[in-house]
Structure 1
Amino acid sequence: MLAIQGLKCIYDTGARGWAIELALSGEGEEAVRRFDVDGPDDAEMLIEAFEDSTSSAFDPATGEIIFAYEYADFGADDEEEDEDAEDAEDEASEDGSDEDEKKGKQ
């Protein structure tokens, strides 16, 4: 496995197609690999995945590009509080509609 140090989107004028270039390092060597992509949107998607990942690697044996992500559980308590607040609002609106119905009957 080689660590991916950077990605670059390239338009190859000779082949008249889009490519992504990987700057790789590992095992005492540095290398650059180029892969054809369908267009700039695909290249942009790969670059965004690289930027969002916590680590990325290229497996020369299989040709796989691996992006790893770490997700923190920030705000899990906040989500529960938000749900509780929404439930309380729903109950309050239900109570308010019952009162409106009672007023309408009188």
Structure 2
Amino acid sequence: MPQITVDHSAALFFDQEGFARDLHAATVEIAAAKPEACKTQFRESTVTAFGYEDPLDAGHAIIHVTIGLLAGRTDETKAKLTEAVLELLRKYIEDDGFVLHASAEVRELDASYRKFER
């Protein structure tokens, strides 16, 4: 915990390592996570569809960040963290001529969540 997933269009080129580092710092500061517990996975999508537009036109790019935390954070803390994520996306993703659809959410991990390390 936290489990962070970044789903994004293939058209987005950005410093993923820098983004993850700053996102981990924000998660530690805002949600009281432990630095060594922050894990981020980037998943690139080769096809991004928007409305009825032809996906090959590449006029739109999408990025969505999901942060899974153990229960116990207030709604205010979760909202503050998602706002911080959006600010980091503004910082790390340049305007490359397409419409960027950026979003973020914080969700609570289910009580069934378990993990192991080797």
Normalized against structure 1, the TM-score is what? 0.20
User: As a proportion of its length, which structure holds more helix?
Assistant: 1
Q: Mark the structure with the bigger radius of gyration.
A: 1
Q: Which has the higher contact order (CA 8 A, sep 6+)?
A: 2
